[in-house]
Structure 1
Amino acid sequence: MEIIKTAIDGVVIIKPRIFTDSRGYFFESFSQREFDEKVRPIQFVQDNESKSSYGVMRGLHYQKMPYTQSKLVRCVRGRVLDVAVDIRRGSPTFGRHVAAELSEDNHLQLFIPRGFAHGFAVLSDEAVFQYKCDNFYEPQSEGGIQLIDDTLGIDWRIPTDHAILSEKDIKRTKLADTPLDFDYNEDLYKK
């Protein structure tokens, strides 16, 4: 796997080595050993999958301490714009984001460390999205910030009149109004 650094330290794009021939293609989508060596030592404990249609926007979600999660995400059918927003207070990149197009054609994955909010928008007619988490989902720990927060400067590439959001995501507060318990100087991986 090739690791592509982004503008925010710790958020990386993973490009797999793909082998193609007349039968199709093959690639290793995850290797614990290689991930630990090239990205960071981590133990994923839960895999999730969602199916959505064009215009669906999910996020920007995170889990509060002590249940915060890292995610390794990919799109196995269709195309999405995937976004990670730094929500660590005191971080030099607080409020900044990384956006990457993930698709069934490019096979790219995005690693989102703890201390980031995550969301995506479906750009194709339909998309199947998969992600690994390094902590179990805890409903009482669920948090989120508003997807359409102009201060974040995210171009979701979906016209407003085509955006489909859950009621919960519509009611989220903007980053400036969201109480956050992530501190840039704290080790968010310490158990």
Structure 2
Amino acid sequence: MNVISTAIPEVLIIEPRIVGDSRGFFLETYQLERYTTHGISRPFVQDNLSRSGRDVLRGLHFQNPMSQGKLVSVARGRVLDVAVDVRHGSPTFGRHVAVELDDENRRQLWVPRGFAHGFVVLSDTADFSYKCDNNYSPKDEIVVRWNDPDLAIAWGIDNPSLSARDSTAPLLKDIARLPRYGEV
């Protein structure tokens, strides 16, 4: 596997090794020793799969204090995936990494604890997979407005399809319950 550093050192792009021929392909989506070597060492306790249509934007979501790290990938379709550092006191606070994930490049993105996460669907549909290192906790979930001007995320879309919760989310600067850098 190939691990690519990003502008935010904790966020990693992972390119699994793909073995293929005329019949199809095979790849390992996770292997404990290899991922641990690259700092992804907490055990995964929950797997999720979502399906969304074109122009659906999900996010930006994170949990605090019951934080989650997420190893995400696309089984079918294409998305722009985004991780935003929301750790109060972090040298990269408010900065983000955006990467295209699709069913051809088979890339994964490691979204560590203390980062808000979201994606927008660029294909007709997308099946999006999450491996999480902590359970989903609705009472700990926090949402950041997808088009927060201070974050300056270039989603490539002006009018996404949003949930009611995502469409009314506050700006990052208005959220008091942020994780603290060095504590997640």
TM-score range for the pair, normalised by the shorter chain length:
over 0.9
Pairwise CA distance, 1:180: 2.9
1:1-191 to 2 correspondences below 5 Å: 1-65=1-65, 67-158=66-157, 160-161=158-159, 163-186=160-183, 188=184
TM-score by length of 2: 0.97
Bigger Cα displacement from structure 2, 23-32 vs 101-110: 23-32
Summarize deviations over 1:133-177 as a string: whole Å, max 9, x none: 10011111111100011111101112x23x100000011001111
Matched residues in 1 for 2:16 and 2:136: separation? 27
Matched residues in 2 for 1:185 and 1:34: separation? 24
Summarize deviations over 1:11-60 as a string: whole Å, max 9, x none: 00000111111111111111011111123311000000100000000000
Contact 1:63 1:142 in 2 (8 A): yes
Contact 1:89 1:180 in 2 (8 A): no
Aligned residues: 184
SS of 1:118's partner is strand
Q: Kindly provide the amino acid, as one letter, of the partner of residue 2 in structure 1.
A: N
Q: Structure 1, unaligned stretches of length 5 or more?
A: none
Q: Kindly provide the amino acid, as one letter, of the partner of residue 133 in structure 1.
A: C
Pairwise CA distance, 1:117: 0.3
SS of 1:150's partner is coil
Q: Kindly provide the amino acid, as one letter, of the partner of residue 123 in structure 2.
A: S
TM-score by length of 1: 0.94
User: Which runs of 4 or more aligned residues in structure 1 lie more than 3 Å from their structure 2 counterparts after TM superposition?
Assistant: none
The RMSD of aligned alpha carbons is: 0.9
Q: Structure 2, unaligned stretches of length 5 or more?
A: none
Matched residues in 2 for 1:52 and 1:41: separation? 29
Matched residues in 2 for 1:13 and 1:116: separation? 15
Q: Kindly provide the amino acid, as one letter, of the partner of residue 40 in structure 2.
A: R
